[in-house]
Structure 1
Amino acid sequence: MSEYIITQNLNHPSVSLSLSLSTPCSACFWLKKKSREGTYSSTLSKNLSFSCYHHLSHPNMFEKLRFLFCASGFNGACYKDRSDCIDRVRGNNRVANEPEIGENGKKLIARRFGWTEVESITGGFNSAVIGEGGFSTVYLARFSKRLGAVKLCRSSERLQRLFRQELDVLRTVNHPHIVRLLGFCDERDEGVLVMEFVPNGNLHEKLHGTQSNRSILSWSQRMVIAFQLAKALEYLHELCDPQIIHGDIKASNILLDGNLHAKICDFGSARVGFSATVQPQPRSNRANQILGSPGYVDPHFLRSGMITKKSDVYSFGVLLLELITGVEAFCTKTEMRLTVSLAPQLSNREKGLGELVDEKLGSHYDAKEGADMVELAMSCIGENPSLRPSMTEVVRIVREKAIASISSTDERK
């Protein structure tokens, strides 16, 4: 006899429900011709997480249970094997607050954490702060076998919507260059996202931090990061259903793992829909929109209030220039955008790349690749969004033009 635990998250008005029954297969309309018996018990706890503990010998009992859940009006999904987030109870000694990670980092369903669990893994939110923004703080989390990152979102009605928005996106995506969601907590007004720990900080720190706390990214490393970012955006734009617009691509939202490979984070500004375009809000509300960052935001969006996939393309173009030049996308002292400060050099490139490429690289860069990448960046930040390339085109161009830099990795695929 096999034993399984099946986890199903629900949106259900009940606060507490306990049910236990024994029923033959004849009770199931789908399998009513069968006669073997099965039993299950279930509990709907206060955090609205539903678990069914089922002892069965019937080969089709799982399908029976799934049918009964649907017939009962429960809103959720059952999963049939370990890769679909079902654990065998026997021999499973997993620590209760350990997030479930599949083999080779395969994404599994993010689980709901209790508030006390979140406090436990962050030491009562006294652990190291590894990231901070205007609307959230990211704490180091310690599990029994690994580290994680806990993003604590500020409390307000508007920020609660952003938390839900980011949670919904992260629960649907699965890409090696997008940060992985391990779990979440929504018991309080302050939303919590529990994510994988990415050890090398963010790209902004790597490019612009003090010399004492950073090593210089080589030219090939920069091109690999650009290619990985392009592939992740292509995935969001073309391979997700519905399509996803990130809305805030910038160096500080690109995390770097132990191999200095890129992972996009922070989907609080994301837009999801079957259309490539999100219609603008009324002009009176635009000041309250949280979308984009100075230096990276699409000027077309600033004028029209309309966000499209080409807005992400614009931000990618700015970031590509930032990788090439080593100059910040927006200078807070002068309030000058990189695209404006570089305009003279970009409009007259007959002098070559010497004035454009990050001086910290010296002569250690591929001049042909550099010229091609500047051309690509220029096309991405073009004034007319319809003339900008798609991210699929960007991936193709980087793969073809920067092959010397990315050939040492498996990123050519």
Structure 2
Amino acid sequence: MSFFACCTSQHRFHKKTLKKKIKSYHEGKPVPSIFANFSLKTDSSKRNFIEGEIEKLGRGNLTSQIFTYSELCFATRNFHPDYMIGEGGFGRVYKGFLKGTNQVVAVKQLNRNGFQGNREFIVEVLMLSLLHNPYLVNLVGYCADGDQRVLVYEYMVNGSLEDHLFDLPPDKKALDWSTRMKIAEGAARGLEYLHEVANPPVIYRDFKASNILLDEDFNPKLSDFGLAKLGPTGDKTHVSTRVMGTYGYCAPEYASTGQLTTKSDVYSFGVVLLEMITGRRVIDHMRPSGEQNLVTWAYPLLKDRRKFTLMADPLLEGRYPIRGLHQAIAIAAMCLQEDAELRPLISDVVTALNVLARKNVEWSDNNNNSNNSVERMILID
């Protein structure tokens, strides 16, 4: 699998050159070649080479801090199970405390089960050291001691969006409508930065509820950039790559052909927005056979506005604006179109969601025949 970026001996950046490119990037100037001259060795026997290259890139060139493994053991009480706050396919996440900076952090220890983890590690360090936006999680630092691969992020006190949508315990309050729309807009703004501000553009490739983290005010930040990919540039329409990501969230054209575009992320966004509207998981084997796949279940309902209220999360208990529900479903429907060219740009999604996310908006629930352009753009036939 071809990931952008990490150096071959034939194409190593001089430190001053890399610093200059990073400075230009932070000033908003285009840096078309910042990752282009990197290529990752794929032979697992090159593990030591990768460790050395990460350390060279990290010292003085990247904005993130380098930690020793012993420092992170101290911060997490030797990665004690009581400190574990999450677990995914590529490792466990622990809550930690950095005594030197008096900072609470999230420490992700990658599984040591193959070269794929090393690739993701390198990509994430480079991505989050070069890309900075309020809607992307901040990478505090990393550790590459021996065969350890550890990432240290800012701590997001409210966990992930997934934690607040599904399988809620009886004492946990469900997210209200306005908070859901606020999270949707913020997550879309994160994608907008990657697609339309970053130069070259970045395709996130793993947009899902568990990768949207929430701070104390439920502001969202995208996390886990291990699968991120540089988007097409020049006259190219797509990048071709091995299909990666999470089942159910992948766009159909990417899943079938491996051809990846920013519109692939837009489809994934539509899936997550549908999860937020309905309170249903994208894949749920506990439901009846016809309802296990969220998009398949929703597809016929998207054709009939009279059935839109059937899609609302029961945990909302009817506390949502009818017109707002209709518009949110219309946005999701546009994002979920099978023809990628018909899906909107993520910046258009941000514009549409901005109205739904604003506080104190006076919705006219009696105006269900609104001529609003979002409502009229449901294109699923």
TM class by smaller structure = 0.7 to 0.9
User: Offset at 1:181?
Assistant: 0.4
In the other structure, the counterpart of 2:3 is: none
Match of 1:302 in 2: 255
CA RMSD for the aligned pairs? 2.8
TM-score by length of structure 2 reads 0.74
Between the aligned partners of 2:226 and 2:265, the Cα distance in structure 1 is 14
CA distance in 2, matches of 1:12, 1:117: 30
What's 2:106 paired with?
A: 149
Find the aligned partners of 2:199 and 2:232 in 1 and give their Cα distance: 7
* CA deviation map 1:78-122 (0-9, x unaligned): 999xx99xxxxxxxxxxxxxxxxxxxxxxx921111122122212
Distance 1:405 1:237, change over 3 A: farther
- The equivalent position to 1:110 in structure 2, one of 64, 71, 80, is 64
One-letter code aligned to 2:310:
E
Q: 1:185 aligns with which of 131, 143, 164?
A: 143
Is the 8 Å Cα contact of residues 150 and 195 (structure 1) preserved in structure 2? yes
Shift in CA distance, 141/404, structure 1 to aligned 2, threshold 3 Å = closer
SS of 1:131's equivalent? strand
Cα offset, 1:406, TM superposition:
7.6
Among 305, 317, 324, the residue aligned to 1:349: 305
CA shift, 1:280, in A, is 2.4
Match of 1:365 in 2: 320
Q: Cα gap change, 1:277/1:131 in structure 2, threshold over 3 Å: closer, same or farther?
A: farther
Larger relative helix fraction: 2
Shift of residue 166, structure 1, vs aligned partner:
1.2
Q: 1:384 aligns with which of 333, 336, 339?
A: 339
Tell which structure's C-alpha radius of gyration is larger.
1
Distance 1:206 1:263 in 2: 15
Distance 2:325 2:16 in 1: 55
Q: Which residue among 197, 212, 215 is the counterpart of 1:254?
A: 212
Deviations 1:344-380 (A, max 9, x none): 21122224x3211111112210111110111111000
* 2-structure distance, mates of 1:158, 1:328: 27
**Contact 1:12–1:74 (CA<8 Å) still a contact in 2?**
no
Structure 1 unaligned runs (5+)?
1-10, 14-69, 85-107, 408-413
Identity %: 35
* CA distance, structure 2, for counterparts of residue 228 and residue 167 of structure 1: 23
Alpha-carbon deviation of 1:405? 6.1
Aligned length: 307
Question: Residue 307 of structure 1: CA displacement?
Answer: 1.2
Instruction: Please state how far the C-alpha of 1:213 moved relative to its aligned partner.
Output: 5.2
- Residue 187 of structure 2 is aligned to residue 229 of structure 1: yes
The answer to whether the 8 A contact 2:305-2:326 is kept is: no
How far 1:249 sits from its partner (Å)? 0.7
Secondary structure at the aligned position of 1:268 is classed as coil
Report the Cα distance in structure 1 between the residues aligned to 2:314 and 2:79, rounded to whole angstroms: 41
Aligned residues of 1:223 and 1:405 also touching (Cα < 8 A): no
- Which contiguous aligned blocks of 4+ residues in structure 1 show a shift greater than 6 angstroms? none
Aligned partner of 2:270: which letter? G
Q: What is the identity, as a one-letter code, of the residue corresponding to 1:166? A: E
- Tell whether the 8 Å contact from 1:160 to 1:190 is kept in structure 2 after alignment: no
Task: Name the CA distance, whole Å, in 2 between partners of 1:195 and 1:321.
Answer: 28
Scaled by the length of structure 1, the TM-score of the pair is 0.69
Aligned to 1:63: none
Higher strand share: 1
Q: What residue number does 2:163 align with?
A: 205
Q: Structure 2 stretches of 5 or more lacking a match? A: 1-6, 28-61, 363-381
Match of 1:324 among 277, 281, 287: 277
Match 1:245 to one of 173, 191, 203 = 203
1:292 correspondence with 2:245: yes
Deviation of 1:143 (Å): 1.8
**Aligned partner (choices 295, 303, 320) of residue 339 of structure 1:** 295
Match of 1:121 among 49, 56, 75: 75
The answer to whether the 8 Å contact 1:136/1:154 transfers is yes
Distance in 1 (alpha carbons) for counterparts of 2:360 and 2:181: 6
